[in-house]
Chain A
Amino acid sequence: MTLRDTNVTGPLSLDSIFTYTGMELRVLNQNLLSADIGSDSELHISNCTIKHLFCGRHDSVYSISDSEVDSLSVMDNSVVSISETKINNLDISDFEGVLVFDNVTLIESLELEPGVPGSQFYISGGLGLGANFSIDEGPFSIDTGPTIEGPSYRANLTGPMQKFKVTRGYRVVARQNGEPLEKVQLKLYNEEGEMIWEGVTDGNGEADFNITYCKNWILPPGYYYSNQTKTWSLEAIHGSTIYATNGKLLSETPIIFNFPRPEPLWSLWQFWVAIFVFIVIALFTTLHIQIKRKALNKREAL
Chain B
Amino acid sequence: MRSTHTKRPFSFQVMIFILLIATLQLYGSIITSAEGEGQLAWKEVITYPGDLIVDSNEMLLIENCTFTVTGIVKVRGNAMLIIRNAELNVSIDTMAGMIVLENDGTLIIEEGELSLNYDVDPSIHPIARIFDVDVRDTATFDVRKSRISSTLGRIRFRIGQHGRLILNSTSTSTCENVIDANDDSEISINESTIYSIELHDNASCVVKNTDISYFSGSGQYIASFYNSTIGGVEFVFGSSSKVLMEGRLQGFHRYWNTYSNLTVEGI
Q: Are A10 and B232 in contact (CB under 8 A)?
A: yes
What are the interface flags for B211-244 relative to A under an 8 Å C-beta threshold, 1 for contact and 0 otherwise? Answer: 0011011100111111111111111111111111
Return the chain B residue nearest A10 by Cβ.
Answer: B232
A285: interface (CB < 8 Å): no
Q: Are A3 and B256 in contact (CB under 8 A)?
A: yes
A13: interface (CB < 8 Å): yes
Known interface pairs A6-B229, A10-B233, A29-B248; A1-B253 also in contact (CB < 8 Å)? no
Q: Give the total of B residues in contact with A, Cβ under 8 Å.
A: 44
The residue from B213, B216, B239, B246 contacting A29, defined by CB atoms under 8 A apart: B246
Q: Are B238 and A2 in contact (CB under 8 A)?
A: no
Within 8 A of B (CB), among A7-56: 7-17, 20-31, 33, 37-38
Task: Give how many A-B residue pairs fall within 8 Å (CB-CB).
Answer: 141
Q: Are B234 and A15 in contact (CB under 8 A)?
A: yes
Q: Are B229 and A15 in contact (CB under 8 A)?
A: no
Q: A11 CA to B221 CA in the complex, in Å?
A: 20
Within 8 A of B (CB), among A90-136: none
Q: Are B245 and A15 in contact (CB under 8 A)?
A: no
Report the minimum CB–CB distance from B235 to chain A (whole Å): 6
Q: Are B241 and A23 in contact (CB under 8 A)?
A: yes
What are the interface flags for B12-50 relative to A under an 8 Å C-beta threshold, 1 for contact and 0 otherwise? Answer: 000000000000000000000000000000000000000
A4: interface (CB < 8 Å): yes
Cβ of B249: which chain A residues have Cβ within 8 Å of it?
Answer: 8, 12, 30
Q: Are B236 and A9 in contact (CB under 8 A)?
A: no
B251: interface (CB < 8 Å): yes
Q: Are A6 and B248 in contact (CB under 8 A)?
A: no
Report the minimum CB–CB distance from B252 to chain A (whole Å): 5
The residue from B213, B234, B246, B253 contacting A28, defined by CB atoms under 8 A apart: B246
Cβ of B253: which chain A residues have Cβ within 8 Å of it?
Answer: 3-8
Return the chain B residue nearest A47 by Cβ.
Answer: B248
Return the chain B residue nearest A40 by Cβ.
Answer: B239
Q: Are B255 and A38 in contact (CB under 8 A)?
A: no
The residue from A13, A23, A27 contacting B242, defined by CB atoms under 8 A apart: A23
Q: Are B238 and A31 in contact (CB under 8 A)?
A: no
B4: interface (CB < 8 Å): no
The residue from A7, A20, A25 contacting B230, defined by CB atoms under 8 A apart: A7
The residue from B214, B226, B243 contacting A26, defined by CB atoms under 8 A apart: B243
The residue from B228, B232, B257 contacting A1, defined by CB atoms under 8 A apart: B257
Cβ of B217: which chain A residues have Cβ within 8 Å of it?
Answer: 1
A-B contact pairs, 14 of them (CB 8 A): A1-B224, A4-B226, A5-B254, A6-B225, A10-B213, A11-B250, A14-B235, A20-B238, A21-B240, A22-B240, A23-B243, A26-B243, A27-B243, A28-B245
Further pairs besides A10-B231, A12-B249, A31-B248: 9, Cβ < 8 Å: A4-B226, A9-B230, A12-B245, A14-B234, A16-B236, A22-B239, A25-B241, A28-B245, A29-B246
